[in-house]
Every structure is written in structure tokens, then in C-alpha cells.
Amino acid sequence: MIILGIETSCDETAAALVEDGTKILSNVVASSVELHKKTGGIIPEIAAREQLKCIVPVIQQAVQSAKCKVQNLDAIAVTNGPGLIGSLLVGVETAKALAYAWNKPIIPINHLQAHLYANWLAPQNQSPITNHQSPEFPAIGLVVSGGHTDLVLMKGHNNLKWLGGTRDDAAGECFDKTARALGLKYPGGPEIALAAEQRTKNIEHRLKNKLPRPMINDDNFDFSFSGLKTAVINLVKKQPSFAKASKGRGEINVAQMAHEIQEAITDVLVTKTIRAAQKHQVKSILLAGGVAANSRLREKLSNHLIIKSSNYQIFIPPPALCTDNAAYITACAYFNQKFVSWEKIKVEPGLRIC
């Protein structure tokens, strides 16, 4: 079964063709992130206008590079929420027009649930496809993106139970906002990760554990990152020379702070995810969402598996499949085939993961 997937929930315009939910035939992503760097964050109106410019060429390229004829497509999948309403409408209205013109069914897709399906996609250069190992249920899924942080128990496809999520800022938002406080560019996650690598190892201890690990010991699966963000902003205010990467005696610099921010966020995410896996005695842990591209998070979760012999396997998609793209939208559509006719699909900007 070949599905065309379309993703336009935020600032990426993406289309992909995927066969049987695992084999990527094409995966095209256009991003307006360079425009948003100028303003230090996403302006929804600009994101939507860029979506309009890119949507047709991106779909055209995805179909052409997959070398697939339109008549061989079985369905069209499209993100209908959550996300920015203007951006979502571009994808949904385009999908509706194509479904009508090509006479194909539509599968509406929840963007957050779909992030998890990056773990079902086979690495693109792997052959034969059957060697790719898919996650087994039950599984714990951690979805960490720019606007959401959710821990879910997956008992099967289309059988999700929400265990907890952020009470305020999302993990990605915390990366983005603390990066901004440090004078780093948008999006902040990759910038913090890069800065953290530059830290001077011999003065690292000065900042160690200065930042809180919010809710790490609480007996629930909720998160809170706004206090961590405020702690960083307060430290920056106390040291006006901060953004200039001051290295004076007793002072902390951007690299040290970036390192500690990354440690604090990843400590909380990993601790709570492992605890959820142990409590629910799952077979797999699935990492997903843009923040899952973070090397330190990937390393900490993988190390855990090496240190403690556990009964579960950890699945982490390649970084390019963690950030927004349409391949995982299409994989999710294959495993959760909920067809609707083009008249029935609605945009739902506030959709929850389940």
C-alpha cells in the first residue's frame, strides 16, 4: 500500500510517499526556519504564507522522486492537528483538493501521535526491508517537540493511554527560550547542543547542578520546565556580561550554561521515561519529536540500557526523522487506517495526543 503524506502543522512544508508504513519512497521537506531566525521565533502569519508558496512544489517533488504514478497511490494522509491554524489549513485544504481530483480517500493524522511512527520507518539505505525491526507493544512513548511534552503508554496501534505531560512549557520550548536568553539563535535546541559541546571542561564544576531538575522525584509522569527557564533568565540577569561568553574569574559562560540546561532537561526526561517503562513493564521505549534529535538525550537513554540490563528495547529515530517531516505522518496513516471522505476532514489546532 502506498500513501502520500502531507505535513504543514508549523514551519515545515513536507510531503512523503511511504510503502506499507515502513519503506520511504520519498521524503521532501521545505522549511521557513531561516525567516523565523530573524524574529527569534515563529510568526504564524509568515509560516502560513510560506506554506502556501511551497506546498505544490513539495508534493510534486515527492511524487516525482518516488517514481510513483498518481493512480498507484492508495490514500492521502494529512496532519489535521495540533498546530498553527493557518499552516494546518494549507495542508488540509490541499489534501482535500487532491483527494477530490484524484478520487482518493483521506486519512486525518494527529501530528503528535505520528511523531512516534518515525520508529517504524526503516533506514533508507537498508535492504531487504524485512530486516528492520519494529517496536513491540506495550511501549512507552516520549514525544518531545517544540510545543508538547507527553508520555504515553502504547498498548497497540490506535490504543494510546496518556500518562503525563508538561504542566507549562514544553521541553523544546525550554530549549528555545533559554537559548534566546543566552543570545543564541532560533531554534534553540540545536544551538544549545552546539554551545554545550564547546564548554571548557576544567571549569564545568562551577555551574554543576545549579539549575533545578523540576518534578524529577515526583510520583507522577508530569513535567514542568518554566521554573528551569526562569532560573536561567535570573542567572543571566545577575551577570550582564553573560551573553558575551565572559570567562572572568567566578563567572559562568554561555557554553557552561548551555551544558547545564541540556543536562537538566535530559535528566528529567530520561528519569521519568525509564520510570514509566519500569512501572508498566513494557517491551519498548520510543523516543520521538524534534528534541529527540538531541545527542545528549539519545546518549543518556541508550546508556541506561547498557548500564542496567532491562527487558525492553529502546528505539530512537535518526535525527532527520525526529524533526518535522511527512514520512512519519504517512507511516502513522498506514498503521491507523481511518479513512474519511474529503468533505469530512476538519482542522483541529488544539488536538491532544490522545
Interaction site with ligand KG4 (CB under 6 A): 10, 145-147, 172, 175-176, 187-190, 193, 289-291, 293-294, 323-324
- Please identify, using beta-carbon distances, which residue of 58 and 252 lies nearer to Zn ion: 58
Here the cell at position 35 is 525567516
What is the closest distance, in whole angstroms, from the C-beta atom of residue 275 to Zn ion in the complex?
24
Query: Between the CA of residue 331 and those of 16, 50, 98, 150, what are the distances in Å?
Result: 10, 25, 19, 20
CB burial class (10 A; 0-12, 13-18, 19+) of residue 224? middle
- Please identify, using beta-carbon distances, which residue of 22 and 145 lies nearer to Zn ion: 145
What is the closest distance, in whole angstroms, from the C-beta atom of residue 111 to Zn ion in the complex?
6
Closest to 173 (Cα-Cα) out of 150, 148, 193: 148
- Please identify, using beta-carbon distances, which residue of 145 and 330 lies nearer to Zn ion: 145
Q: Rounded to whole angstroms, how far apart are CA atoms 235 and 220?
A: 29
Q: Answer with the entry of Zn ion, ligand KG4, none that 81 interacts with (C-beta below 5 to 8 A by kind).
A: none
- Please identify, using beta-carbon distances, which residue of 32 and 63 lies nearer to ligand KG4: 32
Query: For Zn ion, which residue of 171, 324, 331, 336 counts as binding (CB under 5 A)?
Result: 324
- Please identify, using beta-carbon distances, which residue of 78 and 293 lies nearer to ligand KG4: 293
Cβ-proximal residue to Zn ion, closest one: 145
Cβ-Cβ contacts under 8 Å for 28 (sequence gap 6 or more): 14, 15, 16, 58, 61, 62, 65, 326
What is the closest distance, in whole angstroms, from the C-beta atom of residue 146 to Zn ion in the complex?
7
Do 39 and 294 touch, CB atoms closer than 8 A? Answer: no
Query: For Zn ion, which residue of 27, 94, 145, 336 counts as binding (CB under 5 A)?
Result: 145
What is the closest distance, in whole angstroms, from the C-beta atom of residue 146 to ligand KG4 in the complex?
3
Do 163 and 272 touch, CB atoms closer than 8 A? Answer: no
Do 160 and 154 touch, CB atoms closer than 8 A? Answer: yes
Q: Which residues lie across from 78 on neighbouring strands?
A: 6, 108
What is the closest distance, in whole angstroms, from the C-beta atom of residue 67 to ligand KG4 in the complex?
28
- Please identify, using beta-carbon distances, which residue of 261 and 353 lies nearer to Zn ion: 353
Stretch that binds Zn ion, among 30-38, 205-213, 299-307, 322-330 (CB under 5 A): 322-330
Closest to 75 (Cα-Cα) out of 330, 335, 343, 327: 330
Contact flag: residue 169 with Zn ion (CB under 5 A): no
What is the closest distance, in whole angstroms, from the C-beta atom of residue 282 to Zn ion in the complex?
23
Alpha helices by DSSP H, listed for the chain, are 33-39, 44-65, 85-102, 111-115, 171-181, 188-197, 226-238, 254-280, 295-307, 319-322, 327-335
Q: Answer with the entry of Zn ion, ligand KG4, none that 152 interacts with (C-beta below 5 to 8 A by kind).
A: none
Closest to 237 (Cα-Cα) out of 252, 247, 249: 252
Q: Answer with the entry of Zn ion, ligand KG4, none that 89 interacts with (C-beta below 5 to 8 A by kind).
A: none
Closest to 123 (Cα-Cα) out of 27, 9, 14, 4: 27
- Please identify, using beta-carbon distances, which residue of 193 and 274 lies nearer to ligand KG4: 193
- Please identify, using beta-carbon distances, which residue of 43 and 68 lies nearer to Zn ion: 43
Here the cell at position 48 is 502560513
What is the closest distance, in whole angstroms, from the C-beta atom of residue 322 to Zn ion in the complex?
9
Q: Rounded to whole angstroms, how far apart are CA atoms 148 and 162?
A: 13
What is the closest distance, in whole angstroms, from the C-beta atom of residue 172 to Zn ion in the complex?
9
Contact flag: residue 176 with Zn ion (CB under 5 A): no
Q: Rounded to whole angstroms, how far apart are CA atoms 147 and 112?
A: 10
Which residues, 255 to 314, sit near Zn ion by CB under 5 A? none
What is the closest distance, in whole angstroms, from the C-beta atom of residue 274 to ligand KG4 in the complex?
19
Q: Answer with the entry of Zn ion, ligand KG4, none that 188 interacts with (C-beta below 5 to 8 A by kind).
A: ligand KG4
Place of cell 510568526: 43
- Please identify, using beta-carbon distances, which residue of 145 and 166 lies nearer to Zn ion: 145
Interface residue list for Zn ion (CB under 5 A): 145, 324
